[in-house]
Amino acid sequence: MEALKEKLENPVELLSSALLSGDVEVVDLTHTLDPDFPVIVLPPEFGQCARFRMEEISAYDHRGPAWKWNTFTCSEHTGTHFDAPIHWISGRDLPNNTVDSIPPEHFVGPVVVIDCSEGSAQDDDFELTPEIIAAWEAEHGRIPAESWVFMRTDWSKRHGAAYLNMRDDGPHSPGPTPEAVRFLIEKRNIRGFGTETVGTDAGQGAHYTPPYPAHFYLHGAGKYGLQCMCNLDQLPATGAMILCAPLKIKNGTGSPLRVLALVPKGGR
Amino acid sequence: MVIPLQKPPRKNPQVRTRVPTLPSHHRSRSALFMAAAAAEGRFMLQVCAEPECLAVQYPARDACSSCLSDRLIWQDVSSRGKLIATSTVRTSTNIYFRERTPWRLGTVHLEIGPSVMCHLHSEVTVGDEVQLINRLDKSGQSVLLALPMEKAPLQEDDMQLRELTCDPKFRRILITDARNPNAYALAKSLLEAGASAVFIGEAESWRPYPDRSKLESLQGVELVSLDVTDTSSVQELAGEFGGKVDILINNARFVRPGGIQGRGDVGFAMDEMQVNYFGMMRLAQAFAPAMAGRSADGVNSAVAWVNVLSAYSLVSNPGFGSFSASSAAAHSLSQCLRAEMASSGVRVVNVYCGPTEDEGHQPLPPPKVPASTLARELVKALQAGLEDVYVGDIAKDIRRKFMESPKVLEKEMTSLEAL
């Protein structure tokens, strides 16, 4: 009897039971690591983001009779990936700024989702502004401290050239304004910011002051980034939680990872 | 009379693909000098260097047939002569010729002295003044063929000549990199040369590039998904199209300026090796077996594998030192591929190109090779049946100096003056 009581009071046991019963559902926010998935494109004179590549080592054959395995290579910033503060020059001197030194509890936590899908459908350069955040809070309440904020744009449903949406003047995709990022950091003390686009910044983010404000402010404040996510349309505005542990790479600036969300049943 | 080549019908799926066979490949080491000349389409024979002799030799030998001197020098000589006898082979114990009879042979008395046995173009008959060409046959060895003095109509359609060339006419081509600025000129030249289809590999269709609409506008061009750095993409295309590639032109290239110390990392070097070296290896592993199996497959048999290499594969250009090293690796690999393709008769053609007119070489002074020149020379080489081609003044200069002395060329390229 005592044991049962303990079990019911153990929050992890409760979560496990909820997962088993389906009261809590798991949503995968991760794109498959695919050689042809777009990566950020920089001018040719700069170093480039390595694409995901896979070479077979053996497949139950003369190279290894009973086993199959591959060698894969990619950038720390290929596919659905995590940005650590050291990724940006503004965060280079912070303590615990690499994927291997970030406290593990930071990889598990609450998430709120700001739906910008309608605006993004109409405007490739749609901006997340403080006004939109204010309107969201008026409906859903104040963004809790230490929570992740995801900008839903449904951009992950785009394929091929429409994803980067590259033109002669650079890529065009939605993102936050400098003011919006500063608000989330300075007034709400969020843990990180996540997007469906190739980066946390807008496609034209280089033309803000400062350039790439999401990267500059987030990482300068020791916050994290998640990008190239999908299925954000399956998350509730509030009440979900994510698990987003990057690979433990020594001095790593980021890592491809599996981002999973725990969502209360019917909360999608 | 040349029998005009007919566009081949679609393949009959019930007929087994003919297995490649080869003409005799046995030659002395001395005779390999003729093969080396044939690789560039040159007509060279040994000439005795004794001032009182100067006899022209044929076939290749170690001592002068006239004065026994061993001072025999390979020289470009006149290839003109008179066809004094002909013969038609109607059967042969050699399987290669047996499958190709009737095959005409002749004796040509060269104006420089020797009489030679040679293959005959269908337009030449006894008593004709003829010009000989020195070419590689399917076994990769030098053979001579007598052509009429004036180009005959449809001369290139002659069966015995076509066995020696890699003519794009009625053949299907795969160009591996649509993003290379030379892709359009290559495709256009090949179509003008009679290619029946040009497939062009396009990497990363999610990223636009300037020539896409131009490529799409060419009648006969089909863009296919191919990234030479992605093994799965190469394997997939080979699985789908491998049996339709008669000529593969590998124009994929990654080039950035810089050597060793200026770069300070191996990032671009890895990209250079991924495209220029591993890219060729992936393509060869995926496409070469199917091509090798189709080298006797009629009018549109698989016939050539073309690597567009840098002339700096022969000697380092320190300003592009890391790119040069990847090109040298690619060059070495192409020699390995040549050896592995030898038993099929598919020719591996190396095009050594000087700096090209593109963004990768933008700050370099001219002369630079325009894409149209590269395309013209490459197609000409296929039509002529060459194995080594040097395109542009810089490549030709490097070739000459390399043949003269690789060490002196290295000294010239890496001296303090050069830097």
Closest listed residue to residue B348, CA positions, set B333, B361, B328: B333
Does residue A118 form part of some domain?
yes
In this predicted structure, what is the pLDDT of residue B360? 87
Tell if the CB–CB gap between B227 and A35 is shorter than 8 Å.
Answer: yes
In this predicted structure, what is the pLDDT of residue B325? 98
Is B374 found in the same domain as B293? yes
pLDDT in tens, B103-114: 999 999 999 999
Provide the residue range defining the domain that includes A169. Answer: 24-264
Q: What angle do CA A250, A254, A255 make, to 5 degrees?
A: 90
Provide the residue range defining the domain that includes B78. Answer: 32-162
pLDDT in tens, B177-210: 999 999 999 999 999 999 999 999 999 999 999 9
Out of A31, A77, A81, A87, the active site residue is: A87
Is B227 found in the same domain as B123? no
Domain count, chain A: 1
Is B178 found in the same domain as B158? no
Is B102 found in the same domain as B217? no
Could you tell me if B245 and B172 are in contact, meaning their C-beta atoms sit under 8 angstroms apart? yes
Does residue A239 form part of some domain?
yes
Specify the length of chain A in residues.
268
Does residue A37 form part of some domain?
yes
B353-357 mean pLDDT: 94
pLDDT in tens, A2-36: 777 777 789 999 999 999 999 999 999 999 999 99
Tell if the CB–CB gap between B231 and A47 is shorter than 8 Å.
Answer: no
Residue A54 near chain B (CB below 8 Å) = yes
Separation between Cα atoms, residue A224 and residue A193, nearest integer Å: 6
Separation between Cα atoms, residue A129 and residue B122, nearest integer Å: 80
In this predicted structure, what is the pLDDT of residue B30? 93
pLDDT band with cut points at 50, 70 and 90 for residue B116: very high
Does residue B7 form part of some domain?
no
Out of A41, A44, A160, the one facing B205 most closely (by C-beta) is A160
pLDDT in tens, B10-30: 989 999 999 999 999 899 999
Closest listed residue to residue A88, CA positions, set A98, A78, A80, A79: A98
> Which residues face B364 on adjacent strands?
none
Separation between Cα atoms, residue B142 and residue B140, nearest integer Å: 7
Alpha helices (H) along chain A: 2-9, 11-21, 117-122, 130-140, 161-164, 178-182, 213-220
What is the least distance, in Å, from the CA of A56 to any CA of chain B?
9
Q: What is the largest CA-CA distance in chain A?
A: 70
ipTM tops 0.85: yes
Sequential DSSP letters for A71-95: EEE--TTSSSEEE-GGGSGGGTTST
In this predicted structure, what is the pLDDT of residue A1? 63
Q: What is the share, in percent, of chain A residues with pLDDT greater than 90?
A: 96
The chain-wide mean pLDDT, for chain A, equals 96
**Contacts B207 to A, Cβ<8 Å:** 38, 41, 161, 164, 166
Domain count, chain B: 2
DSSP E strands, chain A: 24-28, 53-61, 64-73, 81-83, 108-115, 127-128, 148-152, 166-167, 170-171, 175-176, 192-195, 224-227, 240-243, 254-256, 260-264
Does residue B10 form part of some domain?
no
Q: What is the CATH number of the domain that holds B248?
A: 3.40.50.720
Task: Report which secondary-structure segment, H or E, holds B414.
Answer: helix B406-414
Specify the length of chain B in residues.
419
- Residue with more model confidence, B268 or B419: B268
Does residue B245 form part of some domain?
yes
Rounded-to-5 percentages of helix, strand, coil across chain B: 35, 20, 45
Tell if the CB–CB gap between B233 and A36 is shorter than 8 Å.
Answer: yes
Out of B206, B227, B265, the one facing A161 most closely (by C-beta) is B206
Task: Report which secondary-structure segment, H or E, holds B211.
Answer: none
Is B203 found in the same domain as B145? no
A199-219 mean pLDDT: 98
pLDDT band with cut points at 50, 70 and 90 for residue A268: low
Residue A164 near chain B (CB below 8 Å) = yes
In this predicted structure, what is the pLDDT of residue B151? 95
Question: Could you confirm whether A87 is annotated as catalytic?
Answer: yes
pLDDT in tens, A70-129: 999 999 999 999 999 999 999 999 999 999 999 999 999 999 999 999 999 999 999 999
Residue A70 near chain B (CB below 8 Å) = no
Is B63 found in the same domain as B119? yes
In this predicted structure, what is the pLDDT of residue A9? 85
Closest listed residue to residue B197, CA positions, set B242, B244, B235: B244
Could you tell me if B61 and B46 are in contact, meaning their C-beta atoms sit under 8 angstroms apart? yes
Q: What is the share, in percent, of chain B residues with pLDDT greater than 70?
A: 100
A137-160 mean pLDDT: 98
